[in-house]
Structure 1
Amino acid sequence: MRNTIKALCDFLEKGQDVVLCSVVAASGSTPRGAGAKMMVLADGSATGTIGGGAVEHRAVELATRVHQDKGSFVEQFDLSDSAKADLGMICGGNTTVYFQYFACDDPQALAFARMAAQQVEANEDAWLITEIAEDGQGAMGIYADGGLVFGQGIALEESGNWFGSGSLYIPGKIRYYIEPLSRKGRAYLFGGGHVSQALVPVIAKIGFVPVVYEDRERFCDLDLFPGALATIQGSFEEIGDKITLEASDYAIIMTRGHMADYAVLEQVLRTPATYIGLIGSRRKIAKTHEKLRAAGFGDGDIARIHNPIGLDIGAETPDEIAISIAGELIAHRAGKAGA
């Protein structure tokens, strides 16, 4: 979502109209679920994906028509056996896509995009509300901190259960689509070496907000970490001087040496961080556990550590290790057992 909102804001500020294609509902076997998004410009170029194939090709065609008509609408794609044969698709099911027109000269559209871009950088939970009228026209709202921070005209009288961890589609004469815009929590990467440089752009694309913590100035160059929110230079011995890890934060420990790794690990174990991962061999991990027990940490503390970090996929290179770590982060976020 962070990348989508940033791109939407950039396009509008550069004077380009945008059609935002959002999957608001999906049933059965479909290429992408609710929440998938694609932006289409007037020339037919697209950013993002709603699943590829014939459905996406048709969606681009419809989006270019929206640019001509300048009106939003909802379209349902039927992927039942007969329809999917016509479309050349393997998946079966139904996908509902909302085609929403954003005009670059519309002050409200630009105000929404800027507020959403600001919100995704804030370290707090927020949700995006799309209100779809009978004629297909839409109104956008942003809900955070217990109320609307944008789109005060949207009715929220019965919205008690709207704002959860997933997306929600509410049909009716006026339809609502609610989805997470931003989540409280950062992914702190301790160490700015090759694995961190490979990992940051990967997890930035899948909804994590990476922050790199390093003690060496040359590895605090933000250009090394596309997609990172920030880099922080500080001592590994005293990370509390620079940051405070909360229950929604992830700690990924891979400094340049065992001593620094251990120094960070001891401190992180005293925080409520939701995820703690430590890179290293099994031999290193065993010695680390011994050292932790000698320092007074119990089995419950040690059980919090994901070590060796990442899914066991035989990863060896920094890029492969980055994929294995990203997979484990996704599984943990999704609440999968053992992750």
Structure 2
Amino acid sequence: MESVLEAVRRWRRDDTPCALARIVHTRGSAPLPVGAAMAVAASGEIVGGVSGGCVDGTVYELCRQAIDDGRTVLERFDGSDASPLSQGPTCGGTSEVLVQPVDDAGDTLLGRLDEMLRGREPVVLATALTGDHAGAHVLLGADGAEGSLGDDLLDRHIARLATERLGRAGAVTVDTGAPGDPDGLTASHRGRSHAPRVLLHSFAAPTLLIFGAGAFGESLSRVGAMLGYRVVVCDARPALNRPERFPDAHEVVTRWPHEHLDTVPVDETTAICVLTHDHKFDIPLLTAALRGPAGYVGAMGSRRVHAERLELLRAEGLTDRELARLRSPIGLDLGARTAEETALSIAAELVAHRRGGSGAPLAGLEAAIHT
């Protein structure tokens, strides 16, 4: 999403008209999840995508149309003869895509969203999908809400729903006119139009704590940022821990690793990668990490080093259950040799852990690829 927002901001700064397309609902084997985005400029430039390619061409034309006529449209792609793309998504799933021109109001809020994402601030973008104000946004962060969906009662209702989702990454479409609506939104819209469907897209970057400022940490910081993590690099050695080596890191800290870990918030979305490969750093750090709530704890080292490390950790009083949480040697078996390849193998394990994947080759599996 960040690259798409960056492109929108650049085009708007250059007075180039543009449109934004986002997946707002999926069913079945859709190639990309809700929230995936594509932006198109009047010049024809494209950034991002909303499919594996099967509907991007049609969405591109819808974006060009939105730039020309200024209208917001919600299109459903399901492969039926009635869908805009007659051949349909080749994966067999269904996707709904909202296409809207970016006007001044949208530009302001999307620019603010871009800033918050770059700062790794938790934020929810609410977008009306139907109704008189389709395409309107409300942006809610820790400091309050900005924007409007065109109705005060609806804005208050959405602000409450968005607050509940703040800090929880993901996207969901809600029907604000559903029966049993506690705010009476259906009645308030009677005689005008139905209460709209609204997309609530919550952005909350998980934290990747990289301990070890060597070549492996340098490569992993780049990949981690690309995957949407808030990357923090920590090392006690100032000669290695130079910020210019880690331009994609949100923070670079020179401190003993276990001391820094004691000062930062950690939850089940946090990933801790111990790349220092030195017992004097690793043992106090892993002792604290394995007793904490981090969802992923991995450590670099050979199998011999891992065996030595386990004995030292047992001497610190860690239980077999705590030690079972340690992923070491870190990463998936890709046959990696270089620092970049090793970072890729670690990142692959992070994705598999975060998304519940097996790490096995897809060619040998019968399970669904997209869920």
**What interval of TM-score do these two structures reach, taking the shorter chain for normalisation?**
0.7 to 0.9
> Residues of 1 paired with 2:131 and 2:86: CA distance?
29
Tell me what 1:94 maps to: 94
> Residues of 2 paired with 1:264 and 1:2: CA distance?
33
Tell me what 1:69 maps to: 69
> Residues of 2 paired with 1:136 and 1:91: CA distance?
32
What SS does the aligned partner of 2:100 have? strand
Q: Which amino acid aligns with 2:146?
A: F
Q: Which amino acid aligns with 1:180?
A: S
Residues 134 and 237 (structure 1), Cα distance of their counterparts in 2 relative to 1, 3 Å cut: closer
Residues 269 and 10 (structure 1), Cα distance of their counterparts in 2 relative to 1, 3 Å cut: farther
Deviations 1:25-53, CA, capped at 9 Å, x for gaps: 12233332322111111111111121242
User: Does the aligned pair in 2 maintain the 1:80–1:92 contact within 8 Å?
Assistant: no
Tell me what 1:59 maps to: 59
Tell me what 2:367 maps to: none
User: Does the aligned pair in 2 maintain the 1:43–1:64 contact within 8 Å?
Assistant: no
Unaligned runs of 5+ in 1: none
Q: Which amino acid aligns with 1:318?
A: A
1:202, distance to aligned residue in structure 2 (A)? 2.2
> Residues of 2 paired with 1:318 and 1:296: CA distance?
33
Unaligned runs of 5+ in 2: 178-193, 360-371
Tell me what 1:128 maps to: 125
Determine whether 1:143 maps to 2:143. Answer: no
1:285, distance to aligned residue in structure 2 (A)? 0.9
Tell me what 1:282 maps to: 303
User: Does the aligned pair in 1 maintain the 2:272–2:296 contact within 8 Å?
Assistant: yes
> Residues of 2 paired with 1:101 and 1:196: CA distance?
41
Q: Which amino acid aligns with 1:99?
A: V
What SS does the aligned partner of 2:68 have? helix
Deviations 1:4-38, CA, capped at 9 Å, x for gaps: 44444444345444311101112233332322111
Tell me what 1:319 maps to: 340
> Residues of 2 paired with 1:133 and 1:237: CA distance?
51
User: Does the aligned pair in 1 maintain the 2:16–2:43 contact within 8 Å?
Assistant: no
Tell me what 1:167 maps to: 171
Residues 297 and 206 (structure 1), Cα distance of their counterparts in 2 relative to 1, 3 Å cut: same
1:3, distance to aligned residue in structure 2 (A)? 4.1
Q: Which amino acid aligns with 1:150?
A: E
User: Does the aligned pair in 1 maintain the 2:124–2:140 contact within 8 Å?
Assistant: yes
> Residues of 1 paired with 2:42 and 2:221: CA distance?
32
> Residues of 1 paired with 2:2 and 2:284: CA distance?
32
Residues 336 and 92 (structure 1), Cα distance of their counterparts in 2 relative to 1, 3 Å cut: closer
Determine whether 1:244 maps to 2:240. Answer: no
1:122, distance to aligned residue in structure 2 (A)? 5.1
1:302, distance to aligned residue in structure 2 (A)? 1.3
1:151, distance to aligned residue in structure 2 (A)? 2.5
RMSD: 3.2
> Residues of 2 paired with 1:298 and 1:261: CA distance?
17
> Residues of 2 paired with 1:75 and 1:85: CA distance?
10
Residues 6 and 257 (structure 1), Cα distance of their counterparts in 2 relative to 1, 3 Å cut: farther
1:125, distance to aligned residue in structure 2 (A)? 3.8
> Residues of 1 paired with 2:88 and 2:121: CA distance?
42
Tell me what 1:39 maps to: 39
1:215, distance to aligned residue in structure 2 (A)? 3.1
User: Does the aligned pair in 1 maintain the 2:210–2:231 contact within 8 Å?
Assistant: yes
> Residues of 2 paired with 1:295 and 1:72: CA distance?
61
User: Does the aligned pair in 1 maintain the 2:270–2:296 contact within 8 Å?
Assistant: yes
> Residues of 2 paired with 1:62 and 1:25: CA distance?
17
Determine whether 1:25 maps to 2:25. Answer: yes
Residues 143 and 321 (structure 1), Cα distance of their counterparts in 2 relative to 1, 3 Å cut: same
Tell me what 2:201 maps to: 179
Q: Which amino acid aligns with 1:79?
A: G
User: Does the aligned pair in 1 maintain the 2:122–2:204 contact within 8 Å?
Assistant: yes
User: Does the aligned pair in 2 maintain the 1:277–1:307 contact within 8 Å?
Assistant: yes
Tell me what 1:188 maps to: 209
1:117 to 92, 114, 133: 114
Residues 271 and 130 (structure 1), Cα distance of their counterparts in 2 relative to 1, 3 Å cut: same
Tell me what 1:309 maps to: 330
User: Does the aligned pair in 2 maintain the 1:210–1:227 contact within 8 Å?
Assistant: yes
What SS does the aligned partner of 1:207 have? coil
User: Does the aligned pair in 1 maintain the 2:77–2:85 contact within 8 Å?
Assistant: no
What SS does the aligned partner of 2:301 have? coil
1:277, distance to aligned residue in structure 2 (A)? 1.0
What SS does the aligned partner of 1:65 have? helix
1:156, distance to aligned residue in structure 2 (A)? 4.4
TM-score (ref. length: structure 2): 0.77
> Residues of 1 paired with 2:136 and 2:86: CA distance?
34
